[in-house]
């Protein structure tokens, strides 16, 4: 160093940039070594000297950071929602399943127009909530659902594809009398779509039903997979069936996990086009032991399920009766279904239902049943991840007497 001393100039702008420039200038003037290497270029000199001339700028930056930290509020953590115990392995949360919002023409076609009808409009007395049985062992209900409502199963089709049930040919329907009563639900996906196990279980059959009868006739489902799941429902085994497959990818006796790929969709058996046929069977693996899958598949976010009965005042059940669900405030799409046909179909003992709607947007609705000019309407509220029960009592209008011919 020369005999001249460095001077720290404190005249800075609000960012401290002038201070850094003046400190570098003073160090250059006071260091003879720098004079000997000046020919390397000003850029090299600045790089060598910045390491010994940064104390004041660092202090300034630290002071500024401390001031900013004091000004920022401390974030408040929101309490986490309590989660039920889940016995099955489980994929990501249902909040990551937005596909229910995709356009579905069958839902739009099912919108119920409110038309004035001459006749009686009755509002039945409130229906008592059915007793909910206790399952042993505890069923593996998925998050936000009630254990007794047995929403055990994830969708058998990947998120981002058509993983909602077809609304035209639901469980118990004959599609206007054109088909046999339906013992499952359909997912309309192209051939070759990955089919997933809906929950943990063991494969009890994988192959063609021309080799082993699984339905009402040979080669009904074509290629299929049947899984017996790990948990009992009210002491009974629970099975799921995946039909019309182009290819099975598991073998009998293999244990699979929820959302594990087990097959590819197709159009084998009596299918009239590529899709996945899905069934839930309780008690035994048989065609006559099916239950409505709409009451077992996990609801989409902000969606619930509506189940109910349509009976006469004497308790007789109406079969294949049209039931409409109309949004009270127009905030949700309407839905239409039919009550179960009177053949080899089973109600859930929890509800003793004769119809069901799945993936219903949360909100207020009118449930409407009409026979001729006689109409019954009942108001309900649908809550996310919950099942709403409703009973409609309606009698057929008396026959109109035929006048006798005038002599």
Average pLDDT score over the chain: 76
Domain presence at residue 93: no
Contacts by 9-17, CB closer than 8 A, 24 or more apart = 12/60, 16/56, 16/57, 16/60, 16/61
Residue 335 β-bridge partners: 325
**What is the per-residue pLDDT for 320?**
95
Domain total for the chain?
A: 3
pTM score, whole prediction: 0.68
* Cα–Cα distance measured from residue 169 to residue 238, given in angstroms and rounded to the nearest whole number: 23
Residue with token string 């007395």: 125
Residues 249 and 272 in one domain: yes
Domain presence at residue 12: no
Nearest to residue 359, comparing CAs of 393, 319, 386? Answer: 386
At residue 331 the predicted structure's pLDDT band, cuts being 50, 70 and 90, is confident
Other C-beta atoms lying within 10 Å of the C-beta of residue 11: 7
Q: Decide if pLDDT at 41 tops 90.
A: no
**What is the per-residue pLDDT for 89?**
52
Residues 243 and 376 in one domain: no
Domain presence at residue 57: yes
Rounded to 10°, the helix 17-30/55-71 angle is 160
Structural domain ending residue among the three candidates 249, 274, 298: 298
Residues 142 and 274 in one domain: yes
Domain of 59, in residue numbers: 17-71
The DSSP secondary structure of 93-146, one letter per residue, reads -GGG--GGGS--HHHHHTPPP----SS-EE-PPPPPPPPPPPPSS---PPTTS-
The DSSP H or E segment spanning 30 is helix 17-30
Residues 177 and 263 in one domain: yes
Residues 50 and 127 in one domain: no
Report the share of the chain in percent with pLDDT over 90.
57
Under DSSP, the state recorded for 217 is S
Residues 168 and 255 in one domain: yes
Under DSSP, the state recorded for 272 is S
Structural domain ending residue among the three candidates 52, 71, 90: 71
Residue 102 structure tokens: 């995709």
Domain presence at residue 140: yes
Residue with token string 């009890």: 204
**What is the per-residue pLDDT for 140?**
67
Q: Decide if pLDDT at 72 tops 60.
A: no
**What is the per-residue pLDDT for 255?**
97
Calculate the alpha carbon distances from 341 to 165, 182, 187, 350, 354 in Å: 19, 9, 21, 19, 9
Residues 275 and 336 in one domain: no
Residues 251 and 289 in one domain: yes
Residues 294 and 311 in one domain: no
**What is the per-residue pLDDT for 397?**
86
* Cα–Cα distance measured from residue 141 to residue 148, given in angstroms and rounded to the nearest whole number: 8
**What is the per-residue pLDDT for 404?**
73
Residues 207 and 316 in one domain: no
Domain presence at residue 9: no
Domain presence at residue 89: no
pLDDT, greater one: 325 or 87: 325
**What is the per-residue pLDDT for 65?**
41
Domain presence at residue 80: no
Domain presence at residue 88: no
Residues 355 and 207 in one domain: no
Structural domain ending residue among the three candidates 298, 332, 364: 298
Calculate the alpha carbon distances from 214 to 71, 205, 207, 243, 245 in Å: 70, 10, 11, 10, 14
**What is the per-residue pLDDT for 74?**
44
Q: Decide if pLDDT at 31 tops 70.
A: no
Residues 110 and 127 in one domain: yes
**What is the per-residue pLDDT for 147?**
87
Inter-residue contact 204 to 228 (CB < 8 Å): yes
Under DSSP, the state recorded for 384 is T
């Amino acid at each position: 160093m020369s005999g001249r001393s460095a001077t720290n100039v404190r005249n800075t702008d609000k960012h401290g940039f002038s201070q850094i420039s003046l400190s570098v200038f003073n160090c250059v003037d006071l260091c003879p070594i720098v004079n000997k290497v000046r020919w390397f270029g000003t850029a090299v000199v600045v790089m060598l000297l910045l390491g010994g001339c940064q104390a004041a700028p660092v202090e300034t930056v630290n002071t500024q950071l401390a001031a900013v930290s004091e000004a920022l509020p401390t974030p408040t953590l929101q309490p986490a929602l309590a989660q039920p115990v889940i016995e099955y392995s489980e994929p990501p949360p249902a909040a990551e399943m937005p596909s229910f919002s995709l356009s579905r023409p069958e839902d739009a076609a099912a919108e119920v127009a409110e038309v004035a009808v001459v006749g009686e409009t009755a509002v039945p007395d409130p229906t008592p909530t059915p007793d909910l049985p206790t399952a042993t062992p505890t069923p593996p209900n998925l998050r936000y659902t009630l254990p007794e409502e047995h929403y055990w199963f994830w969708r058998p089709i990947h998120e981002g594809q058509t993983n909602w049930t077809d609304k035209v040919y639901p469980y118990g329907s004959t599609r206007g009398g054109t088909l046999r009563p339906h013992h499952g639900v359909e997912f309309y996906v192209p051939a070759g779509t990955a089919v997933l196990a809906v929950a943990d279980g063991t494969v009890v059959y994988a192959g063609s039903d021309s080799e082993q009868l699984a339905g009402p006739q040979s080669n009904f489902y074509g290629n299929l997979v049947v899984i017996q799941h790990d948990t009992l429902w009210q002491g009974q085994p629970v099975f799921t069936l995946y039909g019309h497959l182009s290819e099975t990818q598991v073998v009998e006796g293999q244990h699979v996990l929820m959302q594990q790929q087990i097959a590819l969709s197709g159009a084998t058996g009596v299918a009239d086009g590529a899709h996945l046929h899905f069934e839930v069977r309780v008690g035994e693996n048989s065609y006559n032991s099916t239950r409505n899958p709409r009451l077992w598949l996990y609801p989409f976010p902000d969606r619930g399920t509506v189940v109910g009965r349509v009976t006469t005042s004497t308790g007789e059940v109406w079969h294949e009766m049209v039931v409409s669900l109309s949004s009270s405030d127009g905030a949700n799409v309407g839905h239409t279904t039919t009550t179960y046909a009177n053949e080899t179909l089973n109600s859930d003992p929890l509800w003793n239902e004769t119809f069901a709607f799945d993936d219903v947007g949360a909100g207020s609705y009118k449930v409407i049943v009409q026979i001729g000019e006689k109409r019954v309407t009942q108001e309900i509220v649908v809550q996310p991840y919950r099942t709403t029960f409703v009973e409609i009592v309606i009698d057929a209008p008396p026959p109109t007497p035929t006048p006798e011919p005038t002599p």
